[in-house]
Each structure stands twice: as C-alpha cells, then as structure tokens.
C-alpha cells in the first residue's frame, strides 16, 4: 500500500476512521481500539466482540487503501512506471491518503463544492493525470523524470566593441 495503516492513524485519525469504517450494523468502534489495531499494538484489554468489530472496520480501511493504490497505479501505468513503485514518494502517500479517505466517505452528504475531502480527492486525481501526461514529477528520485543537462549554454554574435576597437576613444 502507498499509505500505511499507521499513517492513516496519524491522519485522518482513528476517530474519523472509526466513524466511517465501522460496518453500519454496529455502533462505531472505540477509536482507541481502532488506533491500536491500525498501529498493530496489543488489543488484549478490549472485549473479544469489540475487537471483532474493530477487525471488520480494519478490513474496510485496508480495502479502501488497496482501492486507492489501484487507482494510483492505473494513472502511473499509463506513464510506464514499474508497479508497484519500489521507492516511497511522499506525494504519492498524500494522494493515497486523500483517495482512501474519499472512498471511506462514499456515503457522506455534503456540498461537494466546499467539502475538503472531495477537494483533496479531486486534487489528487488532477496531479495523477499530470503525472500520466508527463507534466509533473513524483520528486527528485522519480525514475522517469527528465535528466537535467547541466548549466545553461549561451550563444551570441561576436562583440562589436572591444578594448582594441575602442582604444582610440
């Protein structure tokens, strides 16, 4: 995955994730429990039924993160990247987070024009399209970024006035 579960625990956070990833037939899973599951920490202090609900929520999050990676790979494949990307790019992680968050909020009712989740999703898709078109780079370690040719070169006609031609003035 281009975004780890621990990174999702950091942002958008376990509270938001528990509200959107818990299956509808259950009350929202305890955010502290979900945070522990996202960070692969011990969950022995919670009741087994709560842990089971947390695991189902975790499955929903993992599925959304995998779907986000598939969307990103679809754009990058058009440019010719070897997939999945071997190196981690911070910008790709941000796009994966935005797309994952959008997919988890699929049932959200809001004004799309002002919704930051929709805005971040659309921005990610726009940048992915720019990458696919070869107009945007993933960063300095981008394997398909054009290589710089060094310092700029200048060319101009020979000088009309020089010390020798102006020595009589």
**Residues 53/26, Cβ–Cβ less than 8 Å:** yes
**Residues 21/85, Cβ–Cβ less than 8 Å:** no
* pTM confidence score: 0.84
Q: Flag whether pLDDT at 56 surpasses 80.
A: yes
Q: What is the pLDDT of residue 123?
A: 97
| pLDDT digits 0-9 by tens, 116-154 | 999 999 999 999 999 999 999 998 888 887 666 667 777
Q: What is the pLDDT of residue 164?
A: 77
Q: Domains in the chain: how many in total?
A: 1
Residue 23 lies in a domain: yes
| pLDDT digits 0-9 by tens, 2-26 | 999 999 999 999 999 999 999 999 9
Q: Flag whether pLDDT at 109 surpasses 90.
A: no
Which residue, chain included where needed, has tokens 């300095």?
Answer: 140
The stretch 48-66 carries a mean pLDDT of: 98
Residue 87 lies in a domain: yes
User: Which residues contact residue 1 at a Cβ distance below 8 angstroms, ignoring those fewer than 6 apart?
Assistant: 62, 65, 66, 68, 69, 96
Higher-confidence position of 90 and 148: 90
Q: Look up the domain containing 27 and give its range.
A: 5-132
In the chain, what's the furthest Cα-to-Cα distance? 100
CA angle at residue 68 from 65 to 70, to 5 degrees? 115
Q: How far apart are CA 17 and CA 57, in angstroms?
A: 8
Residue 166 lies in a domain: no
């Amino acid at each position: 995955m281009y975004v780890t579960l621990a990174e999702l625990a950091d942002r958008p956070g376990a509270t938001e994730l528990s509200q959107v990833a818990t299956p509808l037939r259950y009350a929202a899973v305890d955010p502290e429990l979900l945070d522990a599951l996202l960070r692969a920490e011990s969950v022995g202090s919670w009741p087994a039924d709560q842990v089971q609900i947390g695991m189902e929520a975790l499955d929903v999050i993992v599925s959304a993160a995998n779907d986000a990676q598939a969307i990103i790979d679809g754009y990058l494949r058009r440019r010719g990247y070897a997939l999945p990307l071997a190196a981690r790019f911070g910008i790709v992680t941000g796009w994966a987070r935005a797309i994952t968050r959008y997919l988890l909020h699929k049932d959200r009712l809001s004004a799309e024009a002002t919704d930051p989740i929709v805005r971040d999703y659309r921005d990610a898709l726009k940048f992915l399209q720019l990458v696919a078109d070869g107009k945007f780079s993933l960063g300095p370690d981008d394997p398909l970024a054009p290589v710089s040719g060094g310092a700029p070169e200048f060319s101009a006609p020979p000088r009309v006035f020089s010390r020798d031609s102006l020595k009589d003035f």
